[in-house]
Structure 1
Amino acid sequence: MFDTVLVANRGEIAVRVIRTLRAEGVRSVAVYSDADADARHVREADTAVRIGPAAAAESYLSVDRLLDAARRTGAQAVHPGYGFLAENAAFAAACADAGLVFIGPPAAAIDLMGDKIRAKETVAAAGVPVVPGSSGSGLSDAELASAAREIGMPVLLKPSAGGGGKGMRLVRDEALLADEIAAARREARGSFGDDTLLVERWIDRPRHIEIQVLADAHGNVVHLGERECSLQRRHQKIIEEAPSPLLDEATRAAMGEAAVNAARSCGYRGAGTVEFIVPGGAPAADGRRDYFFMEMNTRLQVEHPVTELVTGLDLVEWQLRVAAGEPLAFGQDDVTLTGHAVEARVCAETARVSGARVDFLPSAGTVRLLREPQGERVRTDSGLSEGTEVGTSYDPMLSKVIAYGPDRAAALRGLRAALGGTTVLGVDTNVAFLRALLAHPDVVTGDLDTGLVDRDAAGLVPAGVPAEVYATAALLRHAGLEPAAPRGGAGDWVNPFTVPSGFRLGGEAAWTVHHVRVPGHDPVAVRVRGLAHDALVRVGDAEPVVARLADTAPAGTRLEWGGLTHRFTWVADDGGAWLGRDGEAWHVQAHDPVEAALRGGAGAHGADALTAPMPGTVTVVKAQVGEEVAAGQSLLVVEAMKMEHVIAAPYDGVVTELDVSAGSTVAMDQVLAVVEPKEPQDSEEAQQPKGGDPA
């Protein structure tokens, strides 16, 4: 075994790898950019090395800086985690040239399987079924479009390099091919430095099932069962489980054998995953199902914990042992799957609903209060700690919550409860959305497909903010107005005019009004009569409710509201407070209606302003001041955390202001452009001939 291992990654995966290194008695070396100087993985490692500024290209993607860090700390091996350089053949080769062991497959296997076109050709030759699609590498836009038309709509555009859903585009309308190919190339180039694309037939209502493989340097290859990864949005997995509720033993064995053959076909070594797509619907008459190879991930997967829980194996430990030259200590017949495990990915993002469409946009902020569940049947892999700054330089995934149970129903219940006990205040997350998804009837029954989340997302996002959230925020502000108790004791006189109870002479107590708002929702006036610990509260136009704030401790504020008791965690921030309950979180801010009126409602630019939906970088500007644009026309592209968001014209009009250019860094809600709508023409005037006098 190695003495010292450098972890060439960050966040929760670096923390998770460090945990196994510590258990194996191996010294760990963390690397960090300026953005991560105080990150959790830096504090938990035995040694940490700064490798550059926040930009990934100058830090986590810099081969030279990583190798220099390994040399300076005496590391014998490098664990790449996932993402960044984990599937970079040049990095694996550079490690070998520097005398370092790369804890992953040989560079040749990474290179082969990293090219989806060559990978499909290789595994097909080994008898593994593949998805019908384009053939050949380096296809031009015209050749890709031609192949798509030949296959027939709908089709899926995929980067030949990389994975994780980045750059993948589902195209149903042939007229959109050119725009979608251009967008897919941009995302692929930005994420992987390679914009080579392929096109595949889209399989309707597909299941995404992957097989975990493990291979040593002595010719032994086994599979560790499958994971169901069909719950995705934008081709990005958000819920994974093991085993799949779809497969029977015969199909599981056949897919496992195909995965082993795929691993052997490229001379694989270490832990890897072979991904398959399985058409939905009923199986064939003999009970067997079709399945097609999609790609091979030549690294540890984000969702590896569910396999660890049902097999009892530590995959990072076996990565280390295989890399150190040890043979596998077990064969295929020794691998058994016991119980069920489900994982949810907690991401920094804000859900914005527009009709039936939901955009999950990256969020940013400081983690001000953190509660993460751990227990006998619950595991949280996290890179978070209180004070963590979540920016937009890296992937939005913050942590993973995993639950184990004797069966699938128990695991699902356990994960919902664990997410309910997860509190991240200071940054918007998807925890509440994940809890709602786990209660979806089709998820409960196991009737899944990769389109389920996108179809039903709007119904899984909370429709509004509960009245008791506004009431709690207002009463917390109200409590802050109350004077401290007299020093002389409870019997000392207190001037009633200094107490915010609404007291007045000769009449009914007055209301104290607190104006509050949650971003994305209209401001609300909350009226309080009395003190925070004994009040009558009216939220908006609703009827007044007797309320009582039992205490104001952030660890457990209790609001007695309309005969019910609500428990919140909370923490103050500039201009407001974050409140959390059952996995949900709200940022409730103070609102000044006079100031808002002076700004003109939507801001100084009024309702015609187009603002940044997330903090990020403007990558494309397609319009210019004075240009006439049509409703829905793409004007700008904002990118954050490797995700693009198109800013489109809301109506036919003219661009009157354009405040950014390509490369501009923008904050959330920053004004990007202003489009003034066209003035409607008078119907009679429109009928007049152009030029000269009216006839």
Structure 2
Amino acid sequence: MRVFDTVLVANRGEIAVRVVRALRRAGIRSVAVFSDADADALHVRLADAAVRIGPAAARDSYLDAGRIVAAALETGARAVHPGYGFLAENAGFARACAEAGLVFIGPPVRAIEVMGDKIQAKLTAAAAGVPVVPGRAEPGMGDDELVAAATEIGFPVLVKPSAGGGGKGMRLVREAAGLREAVESARREARASFGDDALLVERYVSDPRHIEIQVLADAHGTTVHLGERECSLQRRHQKVIEEAPSPLLDADAREAMGRSAVLAAESVGYVGAGTVEFIVDGTTGEHFFLEMNTRLQVEHPVTELVTGVDLVEQQLRVAAGEPLGFTSVELRGHAVEARVYAEDPARGFLPTGGRVLLLREPDEVRVDSALREGLVVGSDYDPMLAKVIAHGATRAEALRRLDAALSRTAVLGVTTNVPFLRALLAHPDVRAGRLDTGLVERSLDALVPGGTPDDVLVAAGCDRFLALGGADPWERLTGWRVGERAWARWVLDGAEVRVRGVAPDVEVRVGDADPVRVTARREGDELVVGARRYAVARDGDALWLGRDGGAWQVVETAPDVAAARGASSGGPVTSPMPGTVLLVRAAEGEAVVAGQALFVVEAMKMEHTVTAPVDGVLTGVRVRPGDQVALDEQLAAVLPPEE
């Protein structure tokens, strides 16, 4: 049995933090790696040692196998834990570790190679007797062959990268008209995310449910499944809420899928922790093999909570040559996980960013997080910030506990998806367990309320009012005069907000609404308005207020500027997210129509096409491919043609 005195963690973010903490519990020295963007990250602070591996760009740091192996040798590491993402499923990296005398805490190279290629994975699984989704998965298919295959299978179809996962590069195509463009876009994103633009095409299963089986295998011939996880709640083919066990499966279905997962793992001589993903037809109950993730999964905590098995600890033991010591597990209770992303659901889940000004995370449930106050969330990496995981004796209890925990979560300075997660957890179909991968898209309008709530504008007005002065009317700048109290007036988020009174008793009016009387006072980093408490933080001219898991950035605008903006009839073209300009699809002076693609912006491994807002002429183009742009930065303008 090998003994690891030092292990290098070849990852970042919350998974690096989680592995570092597991190593500490095991009494093993941990080594972190970091790019320039992560020099002050939480995983760097927590590790026993840390090594810089390059600039912010992932290809020059976290995806550079040579630099990571060199860091391991330099620090005396005996083994490398890859986490998930980056090089976790890279056979070349696993091979480089072995050649350097390092233990790769993951499966054998052959397992990674076969299961990391979706085409080979499907062929191998089918040969082992595992049911697979109908489609065409042949190496080296060109665009014409993919188009022909999709036409043969029948629409709708999924175009998917052969390498990688996480929904990146995946395109759902419902009709032939958009197929070629989808193939081109999928190739670009696959090449950027995985360095491999090979694609496959398969039938889109109706009423689909995404269910996966966790497996563990040792080097002594034992392979065990630890039950399933339901991962049907997704946006952009990316999971947002996962749970264990699935509300769909009964004991017989669980055992059948478990057998299929074990067969798939054994077909490649698997060793370590892995996940076999299935698509399940919600109508017939048939399950089809999708892929095998040859690594730890983001959602592994829900399995840990219902089985009592620490999967990272088991990875370490298996990598050290120990046998598993068990052949089955018992599922106890129910666990649900919500992924907290730096994204704006109201803008189509586009990535956001900023500095964490204030942070509150619940302590009554499990939180796997890399967040800390002062952290700068940029556009270089995946937007997931943290995971909040609750366990209960029943599914209903777990859902209630998770929602309560999210309500006590506050991340000020960075827009997150927490309000969306709470709305999704409250959806009647989610509560009833009627899940499928299209539920979020169908319910999006109800799940993503727009605008700043009036109570937040009231609170923002109270904050501005309290900041103006003390109790002595001669010291205050609140518009007091002999005979009556005058209104203090601001334009906040485009709305006129007026406040008057003597704190803590004030009167607030938003727009043309009737005034409301409230009490308002500050208590440290909280603002108390009536019966509500708001976490508050200021960033320059912007005030951030958080309550019930939500966070709003309220910006004060000068009245004359607000009026000018309201009167504007122009058509500015702005970037919907911070990122990099990949393509410029129209030229200066070109006549364009509303909805025409003008720019393609990439951030956090995701592409977004920026379109013309109105018919007109493209003018004032300010960017070229490769330029970095900020959220809402103007890229160009579309002006109406002269009459």
Deviations 1:434-459 (A, max 9, x none): 00000000000000000000111121
Distance 1:271 1:204 in 2: 30
Alignment of 1:659-674 (within 5 A): 659-674=622-637
Q: What amino acid sits opposite 2:542 in the alignment?
A: G
Give the 3-state SS of the residue equivalent to 1:650 in structure 2: coil
Distance 2:19 2:520 in 1: 44
Query: Does 2:519 match 1:543?
Result: no
Alignment of 1:609-624 (within 5 A): 609-624=572-587
Whether the aligned pair in 1 keeps the contact of 2:465 and 2:478 (CA below 8 Å) is no
Query: Does 2:289 match 1:293?
Result: yes
Alignment of 1:384-463 (within 5 A): 384-463=371-450
Whether the aligned pair in 2 keeps the contact of 1:346 and 1:400 (CA below 8 Å) is yes
Deviations 1:405-436 (A, max 9, x none): 00100000010001001111110000010000
Whether the aligned pair in 2 keeps the contact of 1:528 and 1:535 (CA below 8 Å) is yes
Alignment correspondent of 1:693: none
Q: Tell me which of 331, 336, 341 is aligned to 2:335.
A: 341
Alignment correspondent of 1:511: 487
Distance 1:630 1:390 in 2: 35
The 3 A distance-change label for structure 1 pair 597 and 467 is: closer
* Offset of residue 497 of structure 1: 3.8
Deviations 1:636-685 (A, max 9, x none): 111111111111123332212321111110011111121223467xxxxx
Q: What amino acid sits opposite 2:336 in the alignment?
A: V
Report the identity percentage: 64
Give the 3-state SS of the residue equivalent to 1:607 in structure 2: coil
Alignment correspondent of 2:131: 129
Distance 1:336 1:602 in 2: 65
Count residues with an aligned counterpart: 641
Query: Does 2:151 match 1:185?
Result: no
Whether the aligned pair in 2 keeps the contact of 1:479 and 1:531 (CA below 8 Å) is no
Whether the aligned pair in 1 keeps the contact of 2:500 and 2:508 (CA below 8 Å) is yes
Q: What amino acid sits opposite 1:428 in the alignment?
A: T
Alignment correspondent of 1:592: 558
Distance 1:462 1:155 in 2: 31
Distance 2:153 2:93 in 1: 36
Give the 3-state SS of the residue equivalent to 1:341 in structure 2: strand
Q: What amino acid sits opposite 1:100 in the alignment?
A: L
Q: What amino acid sits opposite 1:202 in the alignment?
A: Y
* Offset of residue 500 of structure 1: 3.0
Q: Tell me which of 248, 256, 259 is aligned to 1:257.
A: 259
Query: Does 2:533 match 1:567?
Result: yes
Alignment correspondent of 1:645: 608
- After the TM superposition, which parts of structure 1 deviate over 6 Å for at least 4 consecutive aligned residues? none
* Offset of residue 597 of structure 1: 4.6
Q: What amino acid sits opposite 2:500 in the alignment?
A: R
Give the 3-state SS of the residue equivalent to 2:135 in structure 1: coil
Alignment of 1:133-152 (within 5 A): 133-152=135-154
Rg larger for: 1
TM-score normalised to structure 1 length: 0.90
Whether the aligned pair in 2 keeps the contact of 1:475 and 1:532 (CA below 8 Å) is no
Deviations 1:358-396 (A, max 9, x none): x01111111111111122xx1000001111110000000
Distance 1:652 1:569 in 2: 43
Give the 3-state SS of the residue equivalent to 1:450 in structure 2: coil
Q: What amino acid sits opposite 2:532 in the alignment?
A: H
Whether the aligned pair in 1 keeps the contact of 2:468 and 2:478 (CA below 8 Å) is no
Whether the aligned pair in 1 keeps the contact of 2:162 and 2:200 (CA below 8 Å) is yes
Distance 1:552 1:471 in 2: 17
Alignment of 1:481-560 (within 5 A): 481-483=468-470, 494=472, 496-505=473-482, 507-517=483-493, 523-554=494-525, 556-560=526-530
Distance 1:279 1:679 in 2: 55
Distance 1:479 1:136 in 2: 67
Distance 1:394 1:648 in 2: 24
Deviations 1:193-222 (A, max 9, x none): 111000000011200000000001111101
Q: What amino acid sits opposite 1:405 in the alignment?
A: G
Q: What amino acid sits opposite 1:327 in the alignment?
A: P
Structure 1 unpaired stretches of 5+: 284-288, 354-358, 486-493, 518-522, 681-695
Whether the aligned pair in 1 keeps the contact of 2:461 and 2:490 (CA below 8 Å) is yes
Q: Tell me which of 588, 597, 600 is aligned to 1:625.
A: 588
* Offset of residue 499 of structure 1: 1.7
The 3 A distance-change label for structure 1 pair 497 and 374 is: closer
TM-score normalised to structure 2 length: 0.98
* Offset of residue 351 of structure 1: 2.3
Whether the aligned pair in 1 keeps the contact of 2:570 and 2:638 (CA below 8 Å) is no
The 3 A distance-change label for structure 1 pair 602 and 319 is: farther
Alignment correspondent of 2:570: 607
Distance 2:451 2:585 in 1: 35
Distance 1:654 1:549 in 2: 50
Alignment correspondent of 2:542: 576
Alignment correspondent of 1:286: none
* Offset of residue 601 of structure 1: 5.0
Distance 1:350 1:321 in 2: 40
Q: What amino acid sits opposite 2:211 in the alignment?
A: I
Distance 2:30 2:619 in 1: 55
Alignment of 1:229-378 (within 5 A): 229-281=231-283, 283=284, 289-332=285-328, 335-352=329-346, 359-375=348-364, 378=365
Whether the aligned pair in 1 keeps the contact of 2:466 and 2:521 (CA below 8 Å) is no
Whether the aligned pair in 1 keeps the contact of 2:346 and 2:449 (CA below 8 Å) is no
